[in-house]
C-alpha cells in the first residue's frame, strides 16, 4: 500500500515537471479559471522566535498543491501519502495576482499567485507555528 502511494506521488511529480516545462514556454497569464498545480520550493517555519528553513518535507508540508478553482479547494498529499484538503474561504483576482484565503488545522492561510510570473507566496499563521512558503505554479 505504501509503495502505491509513493508511486502516486512520483507520478504527480513527473506530471508537474512536464507541466512546469510547458508553462515556461507559455506567455499567458494565469486566469483563475483553469486549475493549478503548485510546487512548494522553499519554506521558512517559525515558532517562539526560532526560525528554520528548508524543503516542504522538512516541515511535513505537501510539496505539491493542487488548486481547484471550481470546487474552491486546495489539495495536497503529504510525505506519508495522506491527502490534505483545505477549502478556499475567499478568493480575489486582480490584473496582477490571485489571492486565496482559508483556514485549516487551527491555522489561517493566505496564498498569492502572480498571474504573469506564476510565482507562489503563501503564509500560514497559528498560535504555535507560522510558515512562509514560496514556489511556482502552472495551469493543468
Other CB atoms within a 10 A radius of the CB of residue 16 amount to 21
| Pairing of β 83-93 and β 64-68 | unpaired
pTM of the predicted model as reported, rounded to 2 decimal places: 0.76
Domain hosting residue 28, numbered range: 2-139
Chain segment 6-31, per-residue pLDDT in tens: 434 433 443 444 344 444 434 467 77
Q: Specify the length of the chain in residues.
A: 140
User: Residue 99 to residues 24, 38, 90, 117, 133: CA-CA distances in angstroms?
Assistant: 22, 14, 8, 14, 14
CATH code, domain with 83? 2.40.160
> Is the per-residue pLDDT at 2 higher than 80?
no
Query: What confidence category does residue 124 fall into, taking pLDDT thresholds of 50, 70 and 90?
Result: very high
Rg of the Cα atoms in the chain? 15
| Residue listed under C-alpha cell 511529480 | 13
Query: What confidence category does residue 60 fall into, taking pLDDT thresholds of 50, 70 and 90?
Result: confident
Q: Give the pLDDT of residue 32.
A: 75
Chain segment 86-99, per-residue pLDDT in tens: 999 999 999 999 99
| Pairing of β 130-139 and β 73-77 | unpaired
Total number of domains in the chain: 1
DSSP 8-state secondary structure symbol assigned to residue 129: -
Amino acid at each position: 500500500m505504501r509503495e502505491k502511494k509513493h508511486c502516486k506521488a512520483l507520478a504527480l511529480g513527473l506530471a508537474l515537471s512536464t507541466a512546469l516545462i510547458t508553462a515556461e514556454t507559455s506567455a499567458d497569464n494565469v486566469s483563475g479559471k483553469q486549475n493549478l498545480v503548485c510546487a512548494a520550493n522553499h519554506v521558512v517555519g517559525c515558532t517562539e522566535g526560532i526560525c528554520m528553513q528548508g524543503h516542504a518535507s522538512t516541515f511535513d508540508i505537501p510539496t505539491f498543491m493542487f488548486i481547484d478553482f471550481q470546487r474552491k479547494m486546495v489539495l495536497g498529499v503529504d510525505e506519508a501519502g495522506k491527502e490534505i484538503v483545505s477549502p478556499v474561504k475567499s478568493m480575489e483576482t486582480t490584473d496582477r495576482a490571485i489571492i486565496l484565503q482559508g483556514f485549516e488545522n487551527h491555522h489561517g492561510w493566505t496564498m498569492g499567485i502572480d498571474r504573469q510570473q506564476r510565482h507562489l507566496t503563501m503564509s500560514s499563521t497559528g498560535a504555535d507555528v507560522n510558515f512562509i512558503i514560496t514556489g511556482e505554479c502552472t495551469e493543468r
